[in-house]
Structure formats: C-alpha cells, structure tokens
Chain A
C-alpha cells in the first residue's frame, strides 16, 4: 500500500505532537512524580542512542559486515554494564559542578575556555554526518513509501518541523541546569514506540515470512551462505575498534551525555540502567538479523539500509507505517536531543566567551533566544551538510564518519577521569592531531573523491580509493596518534595549579582539596554588588539568593569559610547557566581572592573534612583505615577536657572543640570558618591579644562573664603546615579553665588563715582569760566588801566590762574550736525547726524583737548536721540581717531540696554589704558595724560551720534596687541510707 507525502508528513506531525503532548502533561505535573522519576523512564530515555541508524543503517551494516553490526549495540551495552564504576563518577562530577556536556567537562577539568571551544567545534563537525544521516533516513523513507518525492525538499520540511519541536521541547527554559522532565518522558515514550515498532517489524518477518522460528531454521539450513556472511566479517579484525567506538559513545556522543547525565532525574536509576539499557539494546539487536533474513528471502528491492521498509511494504497493509514510525522516532529523538546538547555547548563555549552578556539586558531572556537561534542553526548546518554531500552517501558511511570522530575525545576523557597529570596543552595537541587525521584522511577523501595527498597515502599505507573500507585503520591510527601526543605533551609541559586543582576534583575516587584563600568580598551584599556589574542587579540578586538557598546559609553570613562556599556554589550555578569557562572567568574577575602567595596557601581543612564525612561509606581498605584513624584523632581533640582552638595561618578558626563550646557557650558550627575578631566580648579581646602576641603562655587570666569571674590559663603553639609548601600552618591555642582550681586554692588559703587566726585566738584567749577572771574575782570581792555607792557602781562597771571581755574571749575560743567537726555527730536536722528556734532566740533581744522574720522553709526539709551549730549559723545571719535593717523590712528564709542538697536562702532588704567588704566578708574580724558593736567573727564562724558540714555559702549583694543581701547556703541533705551506714 502506498502513502502520499502529505499522509506521511501528517504522520510525522501527529507523532511529534503526541511527544509534545507527553512532554506538556509531564511539565504540567499531570503525571505522578513517581512515574516521571522511575528508573524505567531513565532507561527508556537512554534509548535515544538508537537513532535512525539502528533502525535502517544497522540492517544495511549487517548485510555488508555481518555480525559486526552488533558492535553498535554491544559496545554501549558494555559501557552501561560497567555504569556503577564507569559512568557513576562522571554523573557525580556533572551533578556537583553543573556540567552539561563533554565540552563543559573538558573546560572545567583543563581550566581552559579554549578546551571547551575546541571540543565544541570538533563535536559539531563530527556530529554533522550523524545529524544529516537522520535527515536523510527520514527523507528517503518518505521517498520510498510515497514513491517519488524529491528527498532534499522533504528533508527541508522535516528540518523545519524538527526545529520547531526542538525549541518547544528544550528551549523553554533559559538554563540547561533545569531538568527538562517533559523531554525525558517524551524521549522515553519515543524509545518505547521505536523498540516496539522495530520488534514488531522483526516479528512480522519471522512469522509473516518464515512462519516462525522453525521456518527460519529450515531456511538457514537451506542457505548456509547467509550464516557464513554473518560470521565471516568477524575475522577481519575491525571488531575491537568498533566495540571501542560504541563503548565510549555513551559518554562522548552529545545526545547520550545529555540524557545520561544532564537530564538525569534520579542518580540511582543509573544502577537500573546497568542492566536495563543492555536489555533494551538486546531487543533491538536481535531484531536486526530477523529483518535482514526476511528481506533477503522475499528479495525486497529497496537498498539494504531500508530493508525494514521494503520488508513491510512487501507484507502489505499498513505494516510499512510501523517501520516508518520506528525510523521517524529514532531520527527525531536523536535530532532533538543532539541539537539541544550542541546548542548548549555552542552557547557556553563559543557565543558567550565571544559576546559577553551586557548587564543592561535581561540575562535569562537573552540566553533563551540565543539557545533557540543556535538550535535552528545546528539543524540548518545538518541540512546543508545533507544537501552538500550527505545524500550521496550510505547511512553506514555517514555513521562511520561520526563514530570515528567521536573516538578523538577518548584520550581526553580517560585523562580527565584517571590521570591528574594530563594538561590542556596535551589535550589540544592530541585532539587537534586526531581531528586533522580524521578530516584529511577519512572525511575529505570520502566526501570529495578528488581529494588526494600522495605522500600521506604512502606514509599511512592507506588507499583513499575506498576510505570507508579502511575506516578502522584510520580510526585506530588517529586515536593512537591523539593519545600518544596527549600523553607526551602532558608529560613534558607544565600543569597550572588551577588545572591540578580541577584534576583532583575530576579524578575517580579522589577528593578535591580546595585552598583557603581570603576573598575580597566580606559579606553577601558585597557578592551581590560585585556580580551586579556583569549580570545586572536583579539577576545577581536572584543567583546569590539561589546559591544561599542551595547551601542553606543565611544572608547575614560573614564567615570567610561560608563566603568561600558561596563563591563555589555561585560558580557551579552559573556554570549551569553560562558554562564552566565563562562562569569561572566571571567569578574570578568579579569575586576575586585577595592577593596571595600560592606557595603558602593552606588547604581548606573544614571543607575536606565535610567531604570526607560525606564520602565515608565509599572508603575501603587502606583509605577506610586512614579515615578511622583520622576520626579517632579528631574525636580525641574534640573531646579533650580543655578548650582547643585551631587557627589557620590567616587567623581563620579551623577547630573549636566541645570544651571550648562549654566554656564560651558559643557553638563550633558558628565559629568554625570565622575569625577571632568575630567573637563576642570579652573572649575576643583576650584571645586576639594572646593569638597575636609573642608570649606562648598566659597563666591565670581573669574574665568577667555574667558577673562571675572565670580564671583561665592560655597556652599556644605554632603548627607546621601539612604540606611541604606550607611554611606556616597556623597555631593551636589551649584554654584551660582553672576557676575551680583557683577557687580551691582560695578556699585553702582562707582555711589556712582561719586556722592560724584560730590558733592565735586560742592563745590570746588563754592568756587574757586568766587575768580577766582574776579581775572579775577581785572586783566582786571589792563589790561585796565596800558599801560606797561610787565604788560599787565602778565595780559593777568593771564587772560588766570583764563580762564583755569574757564574751569576746569565749567567741574566740568557740571560733578556734570550730574546725574538725566529727562526722558521727551529724543528725537529721529539720531546718524549719532550726530556723524557728533561731527566730525565738533573736526575739529575746529587745532590739531585735520586732524584726519580721518569714520562715518559708518546708517542714520536711531535713539536712544532715549538728542542730546546735546550725542554730548558731541562723542566729548569726538573722542578727546581721536585723542590724543591717533599721527599717525593719521582713527577712525571708526559703528552703528547697535539689538532688542531694538542701539549699537555704536568707534574704533581707537592708542596706547591703559595702563594696570594700564583699571580697573579705567571711574573713575574721571583718565587720561593717560600729566599733564595740560586733567582733567580726560572726560570718567567719558561719563560714567555718558550713564548711565543716561539707556545704557552701555564698553571698549576693545588692539583690535588687541597690539594696538587700542574700546568703545562699547549701548543706548535704539527710538521706536515711547514708545515716544508717554511718
């Protein structure tokens, strides 16, 4: 059954509209995300590899070169079988650094605009035959089915249709960094249609021509030459180069790179692709001999490339539409994806470097239109190539031209992934050599038969009469020359530090070791201001916001570490927008580092650590052991019971351990990556003075934090850099909190002082006691024996004074005997009762009788101690409160139980303790009372008694509004078990 041109064109239009509809509903979110991100969609989308060459050309190739046709399917299947180890590192790289093509990868790895531009130019040149092959396949299939339209005109119409759809599919967003989910699903549907249609053609051949497998076997038995023709070409030695060419095409072909890496929606789908893609291609591959043999049996009249069309035409009905749709699907899918990928490469590496974006224009709109124009240009170039030469050559010849050309990227790719020593000079030399050999030895002789280079003919031993026949020799020679020169030139020329840095990022199983250079910009606002110049204010603002969101960093961030990460993220994001070379140049120009000596730079330890943590599960063997050791040392440092700050040579804080966090109440997350100057006071002054000073030890430094004094000892040491180039690796500061030690020392000294005063007091009391007793006895005698009133009054006064002396002496004796309370005298003491008793005693004194005392101590609060001595404590405290409280404000006593401690607070609202007495309040003979009113032993005695009980006492004054005093006493709580034990 014949079809008219218009019918076939309508089928093409309908098919493309169906694909566009699928893409549209996907982009609109009408398909569930689970389905869109399902690994099967990814696997099917990789079927874009099977272009019209797989549907038409593979049959023709099998007819001419037998089983060698399988290399086309087996080579790429091999690459995907090794996907987890071969393709996963590339996927990681492209995702991390937003690299959308092989040119991006080379430009990033070799830190060279020229590498990207050269790769783009060569890629466009080598893809033109393959693109024109697709145009030719569709045009000629329409010609065969419609029986006589001029293919060049048909090709023109088809190119216009594809241009429209390529723009609709892929150039609706300005940036290649946005995933085109619609495109991925549409290409997956395209693959499904293609595979099903082609398999259906094969099944039609098997059952329609041979009546099933038995019929095929019988026919093959009768025609052994058919099998011999299939097997024989395997011996010609071209198998290796064929498999290699198609093995690498998974990465080097722009449409495969685009679908496998740039449009990957789910990285783990790559694992499914490791068996799914080979399975998909197996179905395609096994269909080829079936179509071939069925066509040969029925002796179809079409050229071998179009046997699938001829066979279905022979079968009759609408069967030929199946082959046509399969070919159309293969051609259109490949054309759309390849032109999108090539336009992206051309934009990033040819247009943007030559015509920088003006900040006055809308960057996104400009990029969108540039991409659309480039898509149209690529398809126009492919059409012109087809008109100029493509229509005269078979699909096999055109395919071979492209496949051999893409082999030229293999040495560069191997260098990128596996050889950090490779450099851009090597890449240029190798790539140019391989390209020139391909162009002059394969392309020109094939496309222009009059082309001759006699000397080269003799040198290479290649006859140009049939270069297509010699293509494997040319392929091997060009790649060998390319690889050899790439290696030699890379070895004898120097590699720039930027290239070395990028090489570390690209190397498989390697960790990028970024350097810690200081940026000119000091804040996020500086970033926006700097980028507004090349990008325009609104674009700069949007890109910086996007990068901040990606990093989950606040806009107020000023830490140098975070700003460096922001710069990296901006470069990565702009790489997805403008390509890596333009993005790198732009970021270098507008967000520069401060001038630095590259030989003295320090590595960004913090970033390396965070990456190591991320990749931990991927380490094995020695690397895993080393990582365990690293973690052990890190943890040791982190949990050291002394504060440790590690500073880089530029003063940036690299380490801030847990003890530092506890000491300062500032988290390491906040401090790491910043500088000491970002610390709050008083830490800033102390640590900066110490870090910048010459002394290596500062013992017993005091710091007032929240009205409390902290005693710190600081030590520091210079650290040598981890790499030989680093002369100064910074310093490590150890901060030791000696507040407890200092307090203990102070208490020991205090106790020692009390003890010596006690000994002195005991001696004085003894020496004074005896004469005073004698004076008292004599005065009493005088009083009894004399009846003179004056004498009696005087003797009474003497007696009064001796009693006073006795009281003082008694106090001294009590104080001197206060230490060393034996433990067995401790009893359960109900503090409420003790306080009530103290209240009663205080009220015996007429001057203190009216003092309001509020006892809020709970009845149940029981301490472990001596009730009499504790009574003395409260009598003293309440007496002092009464003396300091002329307005008779109430004195409140509160009590509480906290864990194993009884806490008691005695709070008055009196005049407070004078500043000059606060430090020495618990020292003996310290009093604020008027001479003769107090001995100054009361609080010293209280302190001594509380210490004897194993408790503590502290004082706060003023409490509020500049007046009042609060004594807080802690005593061990009474615990029955402890009591029984004792």
Chain B
C-alpha cells in the first residue's frame, strides 16, 4: 500500500508540475539540450537509488 501511495504522489506531482516544467523547457532558447541534461540527472539519481537500496522483492 506504501507503493501505491508513492506512485500516486509521483504521478500527481509530475502532472501538477508539468506546466511549469514545459514552460521552463520552452524558454530554453539556444540551450536546446536542457531536457537531455535533466534526463541524464534523473538517470544518475535512478542509478544511485538502484545501487544504494536492496529491492527484496526481486
């Protein structure tokens, strides 16, 4: 049930923040690679979580 909550919070949070994210993205101008940098940062975060946590269910 904790997983459900986390997922709901994540999806709701992403949805609520998406207009601001898209606005920030659209204002990129010459920095067309902005979204890719954020994407890379997310991958780094995911890598860190995967390394530091033990997922017992798998």
Contacts and interface: CB of A to CB of B under 8 A. Distances in A.
The secondary-structure label for the interface of chain A is helix
A618 B57 contact: yes
A227 B29 contact: yes
A88 B46 contact: no
Interface stretch (A232-240, A463-471, A563-571): A232-240
A279 interface: yes
A84 interface: yes
Given A88-B55, A282-B39, A618-B57, A234 B25 contact: yes
B7 to A, nearest CB: 6
A286 B29 CA distance: 17
Contacts of B35: 67, 70
Interface string A203-230: 0000000000000010011000001001
B32 A230 contact: yes
Contacts of A70: 35
A84 B43 contact: no
Contacts of B50: 84, 271-272, 274-275
A520 interface: no
Contact of A271 (B1, B4, B55): B55
B3 A267 contact: no
A400 B44 CA distance: 31
A61 to B, nearest CB: 16
Interface in A247-282: 267-268, 270-272, 274-275, 278-279, 282
A70 B2 CA distance: 31
A418 interface: yes
Nearest to A272: B50
Interface string A73-93: 010011001101110110110
A361 interface: no
A618 B58 CA distance: 10
Contact of B30 (A220, A268, A275, A282): A220
B42 interface: yes
A221 B30 contact: yes
Contacts of B6: 85
B46 A275 contact: yes
A67 B18 CA distance: 14
B28 to A, nearest CB: 7
Given A240-B15, A278-B42, A267 B58 contact: yes
A78 B42 CA distance: 10
Interface string B41-58: 011101101100001111
Contacts of A508: 3-4
A235 B19 CA distance: 9
A621 interface: yes
Nearest to A226: B32
B22 interface: yes
Contacts of A231: 25-26, 28
A630 to B, nearest CB: 18
Contact of A274 (B15, B39, B46): B46
Nearest to B40: A282
B56 to A, nearest CB: 4
A126 B6 CA distance: 32
A39 to B, nearest CB: 10
B25 A509 contact: no
A617 interface: yes
Contacts of A274: 46, 49-50
Nearest to B3: A85
B29 to A, nearest CB: 7
Given A231-B26, A231-B28, A268 B58 contact: yes
A289 interface: yes
A86 B7 contact: yes
A285 interface: yes
Contacts of B3: 85, 89, 508-509
Most buried by A among B2, B25, B39, B47: B39
Interface residues of A, number: 45
B44 to A, nearest CB: 8
Interface in A852-894: none
A164 to B, nearest CB: 36
Q: In the complex, which range does the number of interface residues on chain B fall in?
A: 20 to 34
B22 A239 contact: yes
A706 interface: no
Given A240-B18, A621-B2, A275 B36 contact: no
Nearest to B27: A231
Most buried by A among B18, B56, B58: B58
B57 A77 contact: no
A617 B56 contact: yes
A620 interface: yes
Contacts of B26: 231, 234-235
Nearest to A622: B1
Interface in A41-56: none
B21 to A, nearest CB: 10
A70 B56 CA distance: 33
A508 B36 CA distance: 32
Contacts of B4: 418, 508-509
Interface in A706-763: none
Interface string A285-309: 1100100000000000000000000
A67 B39 CA distance: 14
Contacts of B46: 81, 274-275, 278
Given A77-B39, A234-B25, A509 B55 contact: no
A81 B15 CA distance: 16
Contacts of B29: 227
Contacts of A282: 36, 39-40, 43
A277 to B, nearest CB: 10
Contact of B43 (A268, A278, A617, A621): A278
A81 B10 CA distance: 11
Nearest to A73: B39
Contacts of A272: 50
Contacts of A509: 1-4
Contact of B25 (A67, A77, A240): A67
Contacts of A89: 3, 57
A85 B7 contact: yes
Contacts of A92: 57
Contacts of A279: 43
Contact of B36 (A85, A227, A285): A285
Most buried by A among B2, B3, B10, B25: B3
Nearest to B48: A275
Contacts of B43: 81, 275, 278-279, 282
Interface in A943-968: none
Contacts of A235: 22, 26
A234 B22 contact: yes
Contacts of A88: 55, 57-58
A282 B40 CA distance: 8
A84 B49 CA distance: 10
Given A70-B35, A275-B46, A286-B36, A82 B2 contact: no
Contact of B42 (A81, A85, A217): A81
A227 B15 CA distance: 25
A34 B27 CA distance: 47
A818 B9 CA distance: 87
A221 B58 CA distance: 49
A251 to B, nearest CB: 14
A506 to B, nearest CB: 13
Given A74-B39, A234-B26, A268-B58, 10 more contacts: A78-B14, A82-B7, A84-B55, A86-B7, A88-B58, A227-B29, A231-B26, A278-B43, A282-B36, A617-B56
29 contacts: A67-B25, A77-B39, A77-B42, A78-B14, A81-B42, A81-B46, A82-B7, A84-B55, A84-B57, A84-B58, A85-B6, A89-B3, A89-B57, A217-B30, A221-B30, A230-B32, A234-B22, A234-B25, A234-B26, A235-B22, A240-B15, A275-B50, A278-B43, A282-B39, A282-B43, A286-B33, A289-B32, A508-B4, A617-B56
Q: Which 6 A-B pairs have the closest CB atoms?
A: A275-B46, A275-B47, A617-B56, A267-B58, A85-B3, A271-B50
